[in-house]
Structure 1
Amino acid sequence: MDELEARIKRLIVESLKLEDIKPEDIASDELLFVEGLGLDSIDALELGVALRKTFGLTIETVTDDIKLHFRTVESLAQFVRSQQKDIERHVA
């Protein structure tokens, strides 16, 4: 597991106040919603806010792409990396 995935796992647990789950209990490829970790749409909104604040992301309204990005910790990490690369390109 890379450091970004570890940060995202901690962010999930802390921002959603998941008292019975530790970051290390979340597999990077585990589905975050419904049959996986069991998060719901309210959790998605709260997680989106936490991701924006922590990583400075731009998250559009709910689209199929966003649903794919929020599927697993791995997909969230890829999304964060791609957003950070876009920011770096605009700054350079």
Structure 2
Amino acid sequence: MTSADENLQREVAALLVDSLNLEIAPESIAPQAPLYGEGLGLDSIDILELALVVSKRYGFQLRSDDENNVRIFSSLASLTEHIAAHRTL
């Protein structure tokens, strides 16, 4: 992972914590830990809120009907990878 990738991952972790008002430190989110359910404990409403914040912050649309959402939101690492590949801002 490059330093730019690491910086983006830290930025996305902070965005996740701030936007969802989580009571954890961004650096405590394990990159491969699941965001949904057992891992970080996010639910479908949290994922929708996160998708909206990510869309606004990085300038691309995350759609609720995207067949790749399970993969995109599976972990901090996968979300960061998707953002890196699609961001316009």
Which of residues 23, 31, 36 in structure 1 aligns to 2:34?
31
AA paired with 1:76?
A: L
TM-score by length of 1: 0.84
User: How far 1:53 sits from its partner (Å)?
Assistant: 1.1
TM-score by length of 2: 0.87
The secondary structure found in structure 2 opposite 1:57 is coil
The structure number with the bigger radius of gyration is 1
Identify the residue that residue 10 of structure 2 maps to in structure 1. 6
> Is the CA contact 1:58–1:83 (under 8 Å) kept in the aligned structure 2?
no
Which deviates more, 50-59 or 6-15?
50-59
Runs of 4+ more than 6 Å apart:
none
C-alpha distance in 2 between matches for 1:73 and 1:48: 13
Identity %: 36
Number of residue pairs matched by the alignment: 85
User: How far 1:17 sits from its partner (Å)?
Assistant: 0.4
Which deviates more, 55-64 or 41-50?
55-64
User: How far 1:63 sits from its partner (Å)?
Assistant: 3.3
- Work out whether 1:57 is the aligned partner of 2:60: yes
Mark the runs of 5 or more structure 1 residues left unpaired by the alignment: 88-92
AA paired with 2:20?
A: L
